[in-house]
Structure 1
Amino acid sequence: MEKRKYYVSVQSKSIMYNQGDAAYELEIYASEDEVEKLRSLFEEWERAEEHTYFRAHYPGIPYHHDSENDEYDFVLKEIYKTISDIGTDETKVFIASMNLQMGAPKEF
């Protein structure tokens, strides 16, 4: 499949064709299938984010003992791993500098 350049904002969960459409953090070269996978991960991350919202109202639960937060963290790391796999050289260097601990998936 043909790959083209896209501009990605993890913060706003967006993937753009044109550099000037909105603010972005990262650049990737991706096929339509890879872009669809990334969009799917953004949707999954949004659902995980919603789950953490409800949990946040119970401050007595430590962050590291909460499966909703584990899910949120895991999906976010999967997003960065996917972006790194298809990113430009600058994007790969930036993500590597983040020192994310990519671990095995947990059951949520």
Structure 2
Amino acid sequence: MEKKTYYVSVQAGSVLENEGDAAYEFEIVATEPEVEDLMEQFGMLSDADNSSAFRAHLPGVPYHQDSEHDGYDYTLTQIYRKLYDLGTEETKHTIAKMGSIGEQEPPVS
């Protein structure tokens, strides 16, 4: 399959073909199936964000001790790993400096 350059915004959950269409954080080189997989992960991130939104408004439990956020954190880490794997040298360098792809176990349901 042919690889093309895409522009990714993790914040917006978007993958763009044209650099000037919107703001982006990372540049990747990927096939269509790889982009589809990334978009699926963005959908899972949105679902995890929505499921933990209610809990975020209740005081008393620190974020790092709240298992409801584990799914969000795990999915976000997987997205950064995928971006690192598909990324340009600049993207890989940026993600490595962020420390966003450390070892993390899947959340226990």
TM-score bracket for this pair, using the shorter chain length:
over 0.9
Gaps of 5+ in 1: none
Partner Cα distance (1:57, 1:11) in 2:
21
Partner Cα distance (1:41, 1:8) in 2:
13
Report what 1:19 is aligned to: 19
Gaps of 5+ in 2: none
Report what 2:8 is aligned to: 8
Pick which of 52-61 and 3-12 moved more: 52-61
Tell me which amino acid in the other structure corresponds to 2:44.
Answer: E
Equivalent pairs counted in the alignment come to 108
Structure 2 residue matching 1:11: 3-state secondary structure? coil
TM-score (norm 1): 0.94
Pick which of 25-34 and 94-103 moved more: 94-103
Pick which of 97-106 and 20-29 moved more: 97-106
- Tell me the percent identity: 51
Deviations 1:36-56 (A, max 9, x none): 110000000000111121101
2:101 is the counterpart of 1:104:
no
Runs (4+) of structure 1 exceeding 3 A deviation are none
Partner Cα distance (1:16, 1:36) in 2:
12
Report what 2:58 is aligned to: 58
RMSD: 1.0
How far apart are 1:67 and its partner, in Å?
1.9
Partner Cα distance (1:35, 1:42) in 2:
10
Tell me which amino acid in the other structure corresponds to 1:75.
Answer: T
TM-score (norm 2): 0.94
Report what 2:78 is aligned to: 78
